[in-house]
């Protein structure tokens, strides 16, 4: 690995043109990309390949304003045993963004009003990311139950209900906003009986 790759690795594995010290460093980064030592995440953002293999990456650098959701959120909150094949990130339904092929990211296009609640900023693996909170993550499992499978949806709900600090009032509020309150109530009746 070249010195520039080591330098990028020591800075957390990702470097942007804003973080570069000048034109000389930028040219060294481009040469490292040509040699395959660094990968181009998107315009102005470069990383050592190992930086994309951890439990979390700097999602905001790859998908600015993106919200970690679905499988990635379920794994973070330990609601599911399934390991996501890619980072699941929600963005506005009318927004278009090109995701680099070097980083496994699945985009979910949500209505703007669904990006206005149940989202918090967390530090995960040293990166500040937006992520759906635990109740919102459960409601997303209910909302997308036909796409993810009923078994996974039931697993997420059971795991959530087994936690001592679950917040059923917030959960039902989110379910109402996502228009899945009746379906969630059916699951809750079965799980709590």
Q: Is the pLDDT of residue 75 over 50?
A: yes
Q: 72: helix, coil or strand?
A: helix
Higher pLDDT, 134 or 124: 134
Is the pLDDT assigned to residue 80 strictly greater than 90? no
Residue where one domain finishes, among candidates 36, 52, 68: 52
pTM across the whole model:
0.72
Least confident of 21-35, 54-68, 175-189: 54-68
Does the pLDDT at position 134 exceed 70? yes
Q: What is the rounded distance in angstroms from the CA atom of residue 15 to the CA atom of residue 48?
A: 9
pLDDT tens, position by position, 2-50:
578 787 777 777 888 888 888 888 889 888 887 878 877 667 888 776 6
Give the span between the Cα atoms of 71 and 60, in whole angstroms: 18
Residues 21, 99, single domain; the answer is no
Q: Do residues 8 and 99 both lie within one domain?
A: no
Q: What is the average pLDDT value for the chain, to the nearest integer?
A: 85
Mean pLDDT of 143-155: 94
68 and 113 assigned to the same domain: yes
Range of the domain at 178: 59-192
Q: Which of 31, 52, 73 is the last residue of a domain?
A: 52
Q: What does the buried/exposed string (b/e) look like for 101-111 if buried means 16 or more CB atoms within 10 Å of the residue's CB?
A: eebebbbbebe
Do 75 and 45 share a structural domain? no
Q: What was the pLDDT predicted at 1?
A: 43
Q: How confident is the model at residue 56 (pLDDT cuts 50, 70, 90)?
A: low
Same domain, 35 and 107: no
Considering the domain architecture, whether residues 113 and 181 belong to the same structural domain is answered as: yes
Statement to judge: residues 39 and 67 lie in one domain: no
Looking at the structure, do residues 71 and 146 belong to the same domain, yes or no?
yes
Instruction: Domain count for the chain, please give it.
Output: 2
Q: Could you tell me if 92 and 178 lie in one domain?
A: yes
- 94-107 pLDDT, tens per residue? 888 887 776 788 99
In this structure, the answer to whether residues 164 and 145 fall within a common structural domain is yes
Residue that terminates a domain, selected from 27, 52, 77: 52
For residues 62-77, average pLDDT: 90
User: Comparing 188 with 48, which gets the higher pLDDT?
Assistant: 188
One domain, residues 27 and 98: no
One domain for residues 39 and 64: no
84-98, 143-157, 174-188 — which is least confidently predicted? Answer: 84-98
Q: Give the distance, in angstroms, between the CA of residue 57 and the centroid of all CA atoms in the same chain.
A: 9
Please provide the DSSP assignment of 79-103 as one string. --SPPPSSEEEEEETT---PPPTTS
């Amino acid at each position: 690995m070249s010195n520039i790759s080591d330098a990028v690795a020591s800075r957390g594995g990702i470097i942007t043109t804003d973080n570069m010290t000048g034109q000389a460093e930028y040219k060294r980064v481009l040469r490292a990309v040509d040699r395959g030592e660094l990968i181009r995440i998107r315009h102005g953002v470069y990383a050592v390949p190992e930086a994309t293999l951890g439990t979390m990456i700097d999602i905001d650098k790859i998908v600015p304003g993106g919200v970690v959701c679905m499988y990635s959120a379920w794994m973070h909150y330990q609601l599911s045993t399934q390991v996501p094949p890619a980072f699941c990130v929600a963005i506005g339904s009318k927004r278009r963004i090109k995701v680099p092929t070097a980083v496994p990211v699945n985009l979910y296009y949500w209505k703007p009003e669904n990006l206005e609640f149940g989202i918090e900023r967390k530090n995960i693996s040293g990166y500040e990311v937006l992520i759906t909170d635990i109740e919102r993550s459960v409601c997303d499992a209910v909302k997308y139950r036909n796409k993810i499978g009923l078994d996974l949806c039931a697993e997420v709900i059971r795991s959530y209900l087994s936690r001592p600090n679950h917040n059923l009032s917030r959960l039902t509020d989110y379910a109402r906003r996502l228009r899945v309150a009746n379906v969630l109530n059916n699951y809750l009746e079965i799980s709590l009986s």
